[in-house]
Amino acid sequence: MSRATMMEAFTAALPGAARGEDSRTALATLLEELSEAGILRLPHGQKAKWDAGRPALPEQIRLPTATPRKPAPITTRRSYRPELDWVHTARLTSAHHEDLALINRWFRDTSNCPDVRAPLPLRERSYVIFQDEKRLEALLSGALFAPGRLTLEQLGAYREPPPLAYRLLGDGDTLLVAENSDTYATLRDLLTPNPGRVKAVAFGSGRAFEASVETVKDIPGIQRILYYGDLDTEGLSIPARSSVTATQCGLPPVEPAVALYDLLLSHTSTPGQPVSDERAHRVTTWLPPRLGQRAHAVLMSGRRIAQEATNRNQLSDDTTWVP
């Protein structure tokens, strides 16, 4: 796929993100996620062509050419509701039809009951239909929710972002998010007597922050979101992905807590996971260039630095990290 086609697809799918100030970061993050999921292939090797922007974007991407093996069609004589007319021409498995039987029954039993179809959180609706609160979530990425088939709106369901645990500290305009719980407690306690610009400290809880960042809008007066996490590929990917979600929700982008990462990079790294140069480059572009170069060197050496390296004793003695 050419660069032009890629940009057209990005604009069509996420027009808000594509026109925002952080559109380049948003696109780079999404391409990385799709590459990790095996949906596309990013260029790599000596002949790989990337532009000179930050973060770098590929000139071309490849889509897998292999066609997934289709399940054998299952013939059925069940009578489906009009909402499920597409089932009659779809290639589905017997397991799909078992789930559809329960969904069909729910459509039938609630056809004249708009109050019963009033929207519910995803897991609550799943329990109503399947008597299993996790079943609907498991089906979302499968064939039943392919384009032109089921939607959450049809089922009166919506995703409720997980709550963000935070502690209000002062009257500032900044939310400081820590990836892990011990660092959250340390930052909370040390900032309580004199929070400066920090209005609240939050516990990101790893990848949960990618969804819970939406709830930052419930904290009044937040103008900056600063993030501090582990210095490894996952710890740097989380805030980059969260920043895309934040800007789509009308929130400020998620920025690195630069002074804390400065302190973190002064510590000795520990063994981590091997990472390619392209991957290391992509995840470190979330950091400013000065820190990004140092972080890139750590990742390329197959090492990492946990945020807990900057412990309570160090942060008590050196307060230059306070936003």
Q: Is the pLDDT of residue 75 over 50?
A: no
Q: Quick: pLDDT tens for 112-138.
A: 898 999 999 999 999 999 999 999 989
Residue 160 confidence (pLDDT) above 50: yes
Q: Measured between alpha carbons, how far is 108 from 80 in angstroms, rounded to an integer?
A: 9
CB atoms within 10 A of CB 230: 21
Tell me the pairing of strands 224-228 and 174-178. Answer: parallel
pLDDT of 78 > 70? The answer is no
C-alpha to C-alpha distance for 231 and 172, rounded to whole angstroms: 27
- Looking at residues 28-57, what average pLDDT do you find? 76
- What is the 8-class DSSP label of residue 2? B
Question: Given a cut of 80, is residue 12 above it in pLDDT?
Answer: no
- pLDDT for 224 equals 97
Residue-wise pLDDT tens digits, 249-266: 999 999 999 999 999 999
Cis peptide bond prior to 55, omega within 30° of 0: yes
Rounded CA gap, 51 and 42, in Å?
A: 13
Q: Look at residue 67 and tell me whether its pLDDT is greater than 90.
A: no
Which structural domains are found in the chain, ordered by start?
A: 101-158 (no CATH), 165-321 (3.40.1360.10)
Residue whose tokens read 């979600």: 245
Q: What is the pTM of this model?
A: 0.68
Distance between CA atoms of 217 and 65, rounded to whole angstroms?
Answer: 42
Please state, in angstroms and rounded to a whole number, the distance separating the CA atoms of residues 97 and 77: 11
Are the C-beta atoms of 307 and 264 separated by less than 8 Å?
yes
State the Rg of the chain over Cα. Answer: 23
Angle at alpha carbon of residue 91, lines to 88 and 97, rounded to 5°: 70
The 3-state DSSP class for residue 319 equals helix
Residues 200, 219: contact at Cβ < 8 Å? yes
CA distance 66 to 57: 25
